[in-house]
């Protein structure tokens, strides 16, 4: 399979501080992406900027705060954004076949049929050397139940996993992750490579983003974590000069690289781990946690301490340890009432007392580690 690169560009990189599109920047990024395409990569772009592009055109003096106003601005801005990208790619005159728009929501990812259809569409566009330009469908997405992606950082990671990308490149206005905020402390040191995203890394990431976008460094680190869990290495950094994007892909970019030794996940495991809506929770003891995380084992009844929720066989559940830390998700083979009945029992005891088709509460083939 041709190597795929997913590039995420935020609002602050595409628009002016006052709002509206910066055509020169869009042209620059189009040239960088097209150059990757000419090198033989299949390129996907996850872009923000619809609200920022549209709010002044629709008549707002500043970026709106009410949901329906932001959605109205996005409806106007999305058309402007796609027109700008189309014209920029056409002006480049490369070997590709232009761009295509794909709008997604969290709900699309949580539905197996819909996300499979989205993947098939993306695959066909890539075969036709067309750049899929992916954005959140802001006109229908809401903040309720955490159904928004958050400045598309999370969306870019999910897309990278979906297409089994070679790299996820998240562009921002700083050249990577620093030990402290370099805007406040000039002595801060950039962290060039991260092999594991620890709590210390998350604390360093901090919070606030720009006045135009909605995402900060923390959301980008969270996106890198999702990509890494799916077997996709990530880069967070700056691309401002011609050739910078190529350098980022080649490992010499101005930013921080997040490495992973994990293999890419199958579509089924991606859905279980990242897209599904857990219907309950299973709390396991230390032995079961070790077996799941280190032994590559299935979850057996003996390791279960308690459950929460009214779920059924075939549902996805979250699995936590006794400290309430999430360690993973999986598809259960038992109804909730059955698990209550067998929790803590040995395999032999379960078989003596009950007629079960499978002894595993969660088989390792239906398990995704999130610890």
269 is in an annotated binding site: no
Q: Please compute the mean of the pLDDT values over residues 289-312 and round it to a whole number.
A: 96
- Please give the model's pTM, rounded to 2 decimal places: 0.85
19 is in an annotated binding site: no
8 is in an annotated binding site: yes
173 is in an annotated binding site: yes
Query: In the chain, where does the domain assigned CATH 2.30.130.10 lie?
Result: 278-369
138 is in an annotated binding site: yes
Res 215: pLDDT: 47
pLDDT digits 0-9 by tens, 156-187:
999 999 999 999 999 998 899 999 888 888 89
pLDDT digits 0-9 by tens, 34-81:
999 999 999 999 999 898 899 989 989 888 889 889 899 999 999 999
185 is in an annotated binding site: no
215 is in an annotated binding site: yes
Q: Does domain 4-268 have CATH number 2.60.40.1730?
A: no
Write the CATH number of the domain with boundaries 278-369.
Answer: 2.30.130.10
Query: In the chain, where does the domain assigned CATH 3.40.1160.10 lie?
Result: 4-268
Give the residues across from 225 on adjacent strands.
none
């Amino acid at each position: 399979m041709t190597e795929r690169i997913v590039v995420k560009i935020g609002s602050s990189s595409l628009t002016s501080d006052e709002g509206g599109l910066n055509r020169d920047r869009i042209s620059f990024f189009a040239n960088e992406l097209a150059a990757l395409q000419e090198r033989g990569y299949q390129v996907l772009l996850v872009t923000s900027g619809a609200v920022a592009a549209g709010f002044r055109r629709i008549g707002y003096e500043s970026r709106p705060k009410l949901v329906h106003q932001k959605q109205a601005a996005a409806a106007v801005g999305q058309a402007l954004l796609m027109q700008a990208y189309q014209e920029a790619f056409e002006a480049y005159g490369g070997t590709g076949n232009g761009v295509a728009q794909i709008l997604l929501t969290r709900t699309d990812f949580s539905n197996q049929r819909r996300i499979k259809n989205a993947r098939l569409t993306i695959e066909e566009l890539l075969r036709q050397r067309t750049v899929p330009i992916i954005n959140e469908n802001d006109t229908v997405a809401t903040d309720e139940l955490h159904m928004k992606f958050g400045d598309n950082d999370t969306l870019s990671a999910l897309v990278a996993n979906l297409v089994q990308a070679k790299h996820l490149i998240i562009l921002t206005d700083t050249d990577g992750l620093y030990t402290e905020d370099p805007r406040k402390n000039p002595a801060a040191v950039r962290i060039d490579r991260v092999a594991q995203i620890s709590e210390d890394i998350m604390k360093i990431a901090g919070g606030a983003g720009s006045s135009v976008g909605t995402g900060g460094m923390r959301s980008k680190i969270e996106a890198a974590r999702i990509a890494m869990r799916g077997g996709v290495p990530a880069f967070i950094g700056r691309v401002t000069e011609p050739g910078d994007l190529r350098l980022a892909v080649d490992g010499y970019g101005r930013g921080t690289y997040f490495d992973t030794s994990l293999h890419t996940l199958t579509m089924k495991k991606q859905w279980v781990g990242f897209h599904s809506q857990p219907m309950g929770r299973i709390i396991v003891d230390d032995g079961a946690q070790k077996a799941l995380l280190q032994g590559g084992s299935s979850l057996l009844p003996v390791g279960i301490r308690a459950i929460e929720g009214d779920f059924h066989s075939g549902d996805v559940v979250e699995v936590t340890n006794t400290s309430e830390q999430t360690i993973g998700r999986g598809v259960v083979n038992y109804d909730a009432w059955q698990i209550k009945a067998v929790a803590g029992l040995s395999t032999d005891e379960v078989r003596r007392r009950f007629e079960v088709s499978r002894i595993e509460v969660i088989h390792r083939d239906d398990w995704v580690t999130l610890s």
